[in-house]
């Protein structure tokens, strides 16, 4: 049913209610927990609709042919690794695609034999449960705050921030022009333009944006997409410009893990302090707890 039919049906129902009970019904609509649950499910439903839409427009691995660095890095992983985008494919969908033979969780050790080993899956986007955890459990109330997602790719963080948070502005910065077009199209189509904006740029050109940001999200931004020397330059740029005292930085994986393979002096101690995250307090169905524990929160000192 479309929006205008739904509206007129709701009005019809209200007109049929006994006048003496109408106020009681309206109060129930405004305050009932039952509808709270419905509304919160509806937030997930919006994200699922966007995910369905994007899935139909992208190849199975949701990667672009132009992402040569990322393709190259994945082929250098110590074990065979495939990209399964967590925003587009949840566990149930992966299971059903494996059952029909479109996707595989394993690879053949001796071609033609039944000897197989599990493939490693990596995701270049947050899944919907991870987004809920991020906005409802990790970050505080974001009313009046500017959130910047560095490397916004399909836009998962921006859409998640729109439905699960009150951030006043959600800005994505993305290198790939194709992904920028895709995000802008989704933002228009789902009327999210009031709070979301996407900038086509290298984050290292965005000093003013970083200086104004209250929250910075960095989900595996550089590891697969830049050479180590470029990563060092980019981290230095982030540290020099994202400096507002008390602003929050979310990283996946931890800063330690991202920076260990690079030069240690990239991040002198004292720039940020790590804040505790309650990974156990999330009631998110069959969410992968290991994925949640990769999410780290820091505060700029």
Q: Are the C-beta atoms of 166 and 195 separated by less than 8 Å?
A: no
Task: Determine which residue in the list 51, 152, 247, 251 makes contact with ligand SAM, applying CB under 6 A.
Answer: 152
Show contacts with ligand SAM in window 100-139 (CB under 6 A).
124-126
Nearer to ligand SAM, 112 or 261 (CB): 261
Site of tokens 């106020």: 23
Size of the site for ligand SAM (CB under 6 A): 24
For ligand SAM, the closer of residues 6 and 77 by Cβ is 77
Q: Which tokens sit at 52?
A: 């369905």
CB of 28 to ligand SAM, least distance (A): 37
* Minimum gap (Å) between residue 86 Cβ and ligand SAM: 8
213 or 226: whose CB is closer to ligand SAM?
A: 226
CB 174 within 8 A of CB 187: no
- Helix, strand, coil shares of the chain, percent, nearest 5, are 45, 15, 40
Which residues have a Cβ under 8 Å from the Cβ of 122 and sit 6 or more positions away?
74, 81, 82, 83, 84, 224
H/E segment holding residue 3: helix 3-16
User: Which residues inside 195-254 make contact with ligand SAM, applying CB under 6 A?
Assistant: 202-204, 219-222, 225-226, 234
Residue 265 structure tokens:
């002096």
Contact mark string toward ligand SAM, 159..188, x via CB under 6 A: --------------xxxx--x---------
Q: Give the nearest distance from C-beta 66 to ligand SAM in angstroms.
A: 10
User: Which residue has the closest beta carbon to ligand SAM?
Assistant: 151
Question: What residues have CB less than 8 Å from 138, skipping those under 6 apart?
Answer: 250, 277, 295, 297
Nearer to ligand SAM, 103 or 218 (CB): 218
Nearest residue to 165 via CA among 155, 173, 157 = 157
| CB nearer ligand SAM, residue 6 or residue 47 | 47
Select the residue interacting with ligand SAM from 74, 139, 157, 292 (CB under 6 A).
157
> Which tokens sit at 279?
């990974």
Q: Which residues bind ligand SAM (CB under 6 A)?
A: 124-126, 149, 151-153, 156-157, 173-176, 179, 202-204, 219-222, 225-226, 234
């Amino acid at each position: 049913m479309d929006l205008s039919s739904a509206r007129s049906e709701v009005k019809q129902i209200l007109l049929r209610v006994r006048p003496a009970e109408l106020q009681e019904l309206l109060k129930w609509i405004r305050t009932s927990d039952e509808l709270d649950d419905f509304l919160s499910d509806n937030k997930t439903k919006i994200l699922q609709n966007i995910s369905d839409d994007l899935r139909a427009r992208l190849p199975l691995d949701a990667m672009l042919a132009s992402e040569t660095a990322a393709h190259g890095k994945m082929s250098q992983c110590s074990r065979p690794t495939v990209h399964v985008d967590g925003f587009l494919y949840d566990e149930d969908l992966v299971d059903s695609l494996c059952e029909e033979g479109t996707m595989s969780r394993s690879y053949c050790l001796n071609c033609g034999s039944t000897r197989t080993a599990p493939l490693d899956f990596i995701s270049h986007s947050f899944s919907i449960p991870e987004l809920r955890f991020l906005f409802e459990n990790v970050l505080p109330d974001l009313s009046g705050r500017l959130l910047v997602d560095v490397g916004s790719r399909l836009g998962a963080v921006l859409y998640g921030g729109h439905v699960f948070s009150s951030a006043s502005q959600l800005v994505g910065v993305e290198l790939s022009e194709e992904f920028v077009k895709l995000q802008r199209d989704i933002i228009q189509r789902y009327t999210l333009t009031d709070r979301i904006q996407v900038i086509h740029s290298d984050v290292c050109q965005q000093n003013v944006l970083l200086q104004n940001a209250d929250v910075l999200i960095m989900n595996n931004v550089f590891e697969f997409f830049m050479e180590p020397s470029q990563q060092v330059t980019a981290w230095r740029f982030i540290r020099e410009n994202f400096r507002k005292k008390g602003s929050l930085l979310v990283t996946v994986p931890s800063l330690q893990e991202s920076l260990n393979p690079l030069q240690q002096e990239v991040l002198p101690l004292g720039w940020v302090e790590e804040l505790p995250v309650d990974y156990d307090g999330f009631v998110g169905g069959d969410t992968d707890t290991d994925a949640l524990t990769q999410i780290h929160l820091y505060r700029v000192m």
